[in-house]
Amino acid sequence: MIGSRLPAQSQLPATPSGPRTPPVTSGDSVGRALPAPPVFDGYALRTAIPSLRSDEAVTIDGRLDEAIWQRAPVLTGFSQYVPVDERKADDSTEVFVWYSASAIHFGIRAYAAPGTLRATLADRDRIDGEDHVQILLDTDNAHRRAFVFAVNAYGVQADGIRVEGSSQGNTPRLGLQNSDITPDFVFASKGRLTDFGYEVEVRIPFKSIRYGSGEEQVWGLNVVRQVQATGVQETWYPVKRANASFLVQMGQLTGLHELKRGLTLDLNPVVTSVINGAPSGAANAQQWAYRQTPEVGGNVRWGVTPNLTLNATFNPDFSQVEADVQQIPGDARFPVFFPERRPFFTDGIELFELPNRLVYTRRIVAPTSAARMSGKIGKTDVAVLSALDDRSYSLDPDRTSPLFNILRLRRDVGAQGWVGALVTDRTDGAAFNRVGSLDTRLVLTRLLQWSAQAIGSTTRGGAPGAPTRNGAMLYSSLTRTGRQFGFRYEIRGVTPDFVTQSGFIPRADYVESQIAHRVSYLGREGAWLQNWSPRVRVIYTHLWNDFQR
Give pLDDT tens digits for 130-162. Answer: 999 999 999 999 998 999 999 999 999 999 999
Helix (H) or strand (E) holding 138: strand 132-138
pTM higher than the cut 0.85: yes
Distance between CA atoms of residues 157 and 121, nearest Å: 10
Residue 475 and residue 507 in contact, taking contact as beta carbons nearer than 8 Å: no
Distance between CA atoms of residues 348 and 356, nearest Å: 18
Q: How confident is the model at residue 481 (pLDDT cuts 50, 70, 90)?
A: very high
Confidence at residue 443, expressed as pLDDT on a 0 to 100 scale: 92
Confidence at residue 23, expressed as pLDDT on a 0 to 100 scale: 33
Please classify residue 521 by burial: count the beta carbons closer than 10 Å to its beta carbon, then call 0-12 exposed, 13-18 middle and 19+ buried: exposed
Confidence at residue 331, expressed as pLDDT on a 0 to 100 scale: 74
Q: What is the CA radius of gyration of the chain?
A: 26
| Confidence check: pLDDT of 170 > 50 | no
Question: In this structure, what are the phi and psi dihedrals at residue 428, rounded to the nearest 5 degrees?
Answer: -135, 90
Task: Report the chain's terminal Cα–Cα distance, integer Å.
Answer: 57
Confidence at residue 358, expressed as pLDDT on a 0 to 100 scale: 96
Q: How confident is the model at residue 505 (pLDDT cuts 50, 70, 90)?
A: very high
| Confidence check: pLDDT of 2 > 70 | no
Tell me which range, 102-116, 262-276, 386-400, is most confidently predicted by mean pLDDT: 102-116
**What is the rounded average pLDDT for all residues in the chain?**
87
| Confidence check: pLDDT of 12 > 50 | no
Which stretches within 325-419 are classed as H helix? 343-346
Q: What is the mean pLDDT of residues 437-460?
A: 95
Q: What is the mean pLDDT of residues 346-370?
A: 92
Distance between CA atoms of residues 50 and 34, nearest Å: 18
Q: What is the mean pLDDT of residues 50-74?
A: 94
Residue 458 and residue 481 in contact, taking contact as beta carbons nearer than 8 Å: no
E strands in 335-484: 367-377, 380-389, 403-413, 417-428, 431-443, 448-460, 468-480
**Tens of pLDDT, residues 388-410:** 999 989 887 777 899 999 999 99
Confidence at residue 34, expressed as pLDDT on a 0 to 100 scale: 59
Residue 253 and residue 49 in contact, taking contact as beta carbons nearer than 8 Å: yes
